Amino acid sequence: MAEVALTLTGVAVAFGALRAVDGVDLSIPAGQRRAIIGPNGAGKTTLFNAITGVVPPTEGRVVFEGHDITHLPPHKRAALGISRTFQITNLFPSLSVEENMVLALRGLSPQKFSLFGSPDLSTADQDRITRALRLAGLADRSATVVTEMAYGDQRQLEIALALVATPRMLLLDEPAAGLSPSERSIVADVIRGLPKELTVILIEHDMDLALGLVDYVTCLHEGRLLVEALPADIRTDARVQEVYLGKPHHA
Ligand SMILES: Nc1ncnc2c1ncn2[C@@H]1O[C@H](COP(=O)(O)OP(=O)(O)OP(=O)(O)O)[C@@H](O)[C@H]1O
Ligand SMILES: [Mg+2]
């Protein structure tokens, strides 16, 4: 049996009376590519926040590679190998690609960065940055300032930032949102080219993109797990059609 990377047991996140995530059980084998789909407000990002510790679960248990991380702060979860990108762009626009990478690697704010200037990088750190940029399709872009980059390249940089810590599990929250078809296909190639041993969880509204990239699909609805299925079976699932596509599907 495949090793399990992540196990959620009865995970709930309540905001007052709203149960944004409402008792989710999930098990993700190591190295699997998993899509999380579901309509707006289904609880997908909140589930990522519960896994990464940005918003800790109010109920349930999160276990990553055998460690109970339910109550750990985000930086401790990151140190165990969990990394994520955000649905909203999260870059320092006036800095270069390389400078953004250094900040991510060191966990620094731009203020501290400008106080200390551009620090000398160890060979190991430089190698990590080079590898992450190559995986994200941005080799040779390290000197480019973020404001000079196309939006698609900026989304690739966010993936590079998430990879620089050499995570064992990567959570991507709508990495292709707002991109043109050609930019989307580049991001898809980046995701396809990620190391096989890396566990990847992908939130994506574009079904064509998501289903072409993953081994298995979880559909959330109103904070609950609605369906888990192979990509080939998701489109024809009546429950998915009803909630995700908004209406029953007529071929
Ligand atoms: N910090 C918060 N405080 C209060 N309510 C929140 C908070 N974050 C999310 N919610 C609510 O929780 C529900 C789930 O939101 P979430 O962002 O997880 O959905 P989503 O599936 O990621 O949606 P989308 O596809 O639009 O990104 C929504 O009703 C949202 O308004
Ligand atoms: Mg979201």
Residue nearest to atom 25 of ligand 1 (CA): 40
**How confident is the model at residue 54, as a pLDDT?**
93
For 168, the token pair is 């064992």
How many C-beta atoms surround the C-beta of residue 216 within 10 A?
15
> What atom in ligand 1 is closest to the CA of residue 46?
18
Rg of the chain over CA atoms, in angstroms? 18
Whether residue 204 contacts residue 212, with contact meaning beta carbons closer than 8 Å, is answered with no
**How confident is the model at residue 106, as a pLDDT?**
81
Q: In 3D, which of 29, 30, 20 has the Cα closest to residue 50?
A: 20
Residue 251: pLDDT band (50, 70, 90) is: very low
Q: Return the CATH fold of 1-81+169-251.
A: Rossmann fold (3.40.50)
Residue 249: pLDDT band (50, 70, 90) is: very low
In the chain, list all ranges with CATH 3.40.50.300: 1-81+169-251
For 63, the token pair is 């276990």
Calculate the average pLDDT of the chain.
91
**How confident is the model at residue 226, as a pLDDT?**
96
pLDDT in tens, 128-174: 999 999 999 999 999 999 999 999 999 999 999 999 989 999 999 99
Please state the rounded mean pLDDT for residues 30-38: 97
3-state DSSP helix/strand/coil percent for the chain, to nearest 5?
35, 25, 40
Q: In 3D, which of 154, 170, 152 has the Cα closest to residue 162?
A: 170
Q: Is residue 120 pLDDT above 90, yes or no?
A: no
Q: In 3D, which of 133, 137, 120, 141 has the Cα closest to residue 161?
A: 133
Residue 211: pLDDT band (50, 70, 90) is: very high
**Cα 15 to middle of ligand 1, angstroms:** 9
Higher pLDDT, 149 or 207: 149
Q: Is residue 245 pLDDT above 70, yes or no?
A: no
Residue nearest to atom 16 of ligand 1 (CA): 43
Ligand with minimal distance to 19 CA: 1
Which contacts qualify for 182-185: CB closer than 8 Å, 24 or more apart? 182/152, 183/150, 183/151, 183/152, 183/155, 184/152, 184/209
pLDDT in tens, 46-60: 999 999 999 999 999
Residue nearest to atom 29 of ligand 1 (CA): 41
**How confident is the model at residue 108, as a pLDDT?**
59
